[in-house]
Chain A
Amino acid sequence: METPLRFSVSSADVHLGLSLLAGSAQFFIEAKLRNNDEHRFDNIEQLAGRYFLSEEQTMQNNKTTLLIGLGNPILGDDGIGWRVVEEAEAILGKRPELEREQHPVDVIYLSLGGLSLMEHMEGYQDVVVVDSIIVKDKPNGTIYSLPLSSLPDFSSGHSTAIHDTSLASALTVGRKMQMELPEDIWVVAVSAEYVFDFSEELSPPVAAALPGAVDVLIDVLDKDTREEKII
């Protein structure tokens, strides 16, 4: 006895009807909220930006690769993502064939996960994330180049996220809301272990992997030469 949701956002009236199945009890709820002031829901999108970007911005993002250095730069080996992207940025600046006109790349550095990370990807069709990865079957400093869909998403079935969801779940949430999000995300990751101690230094095996990871990343920025590999 599922009743379809009705939720109309008008200037002064939010009307909601939903049915919920809770435990074994099935019940229907009608929630009605009246605003005393008018027009609030009308202009939220102009005020904060829609969760759909403007057409112009979307077109711009569509043809641009978003490169994200991910991790915490002061948490030891978790800083590898930022370091690889910093080095790659320096090299990209010197390579005329990768000039922004022909191959625009937006670069950002983030210490985020889940929903917040997903929100940064809005409008981009091509996203490359560089991060550390914790694995148990390879030595520290192993370089991974692979699509996010090749990584296990352990939390998609669970609600135990401590304060957010996994990126894969967040992307599903965003897509469900018709946000423009990349089909898949390419990941360049370096396996690391020392990500619980505050330090700006990389451990020796991870530091040794830096040049190799930068090379992998430069290749990955050209979509045609992308291939899944572990080095």
Chain B
Amino acid sequence: MNPYLPLPMKIVRITVETDDRDIKTFSISFVNSKDEANFKYIPGQFAELSILDKGEAPFGMASSPTQPECLEFSVSKIGVLTNALHNMDVGGTVGVRGPLGNGYPIEKLKGKNIVMIGGGFGFSTLRALTNFMLDEANRDNFKDITVIYGARRPGLLLYKDDLEKWGKRSDIHLHLTVDTGDEEWTGNVGFVPSITKEVAPNSEDAYALVCGPPAMIKFTLPVVEELGFPLERILLSLEMRMKCGLGMCGRCNIGSKYVCKDGPVFSLAELSKLPHEY
């Protein structure tokens, strides 16, 4: 099988996620049913999304494999490819190469308490994981599920439908926060690290998964460590510039590990052995 060939997919739905309209979620479905059957993924994996003439780039999958009708990618409008994507309409054709990367270690997470801490745009694969764990077939495999999710302001919180659904459930502890609120906002106001400190999730028999912008990660990790999570049970999903996604093109390495192939999910214990070049 040629790993460079994108599979054709059609855009079936476009959701404008943020009030500045800079982030949209593209729901896409396979053109060929055979491709669909072969595309098996887990939350935390990514794929190379491409538009012919514009190129390709890696995006974490925001959808959960428990919702098999389509794949979802949340895309921030920032460069040539993402601008082209934002200009597309439902029915347009894109290409997908994947799934790539290791994804979240589902087997290790089973039977544990799960604490997910996300900020801004970095929340997409945690959203996938949350929907995966909340699925009827999987929910019993995990103990307490806590989600702490923050954005700069309410209009920048993604996946509002999901947040509303999760908020109504009793089997998930959801803590939303914004840096600055508005008249309608009734939730927490404060940065993710301080809300994490306030919520103080129990670290016993628990994994902490942290995803977000560098500043959030930098100030959240000490809080998580202070709560007693050992380095092996603090997981991060990293981003790097990538081309092939196959561990060959040479740009996404941190030391001898490739973020595309060995990651993007690493434990803090693994990262502590690598040079700090990310």
| A interacts with B | no
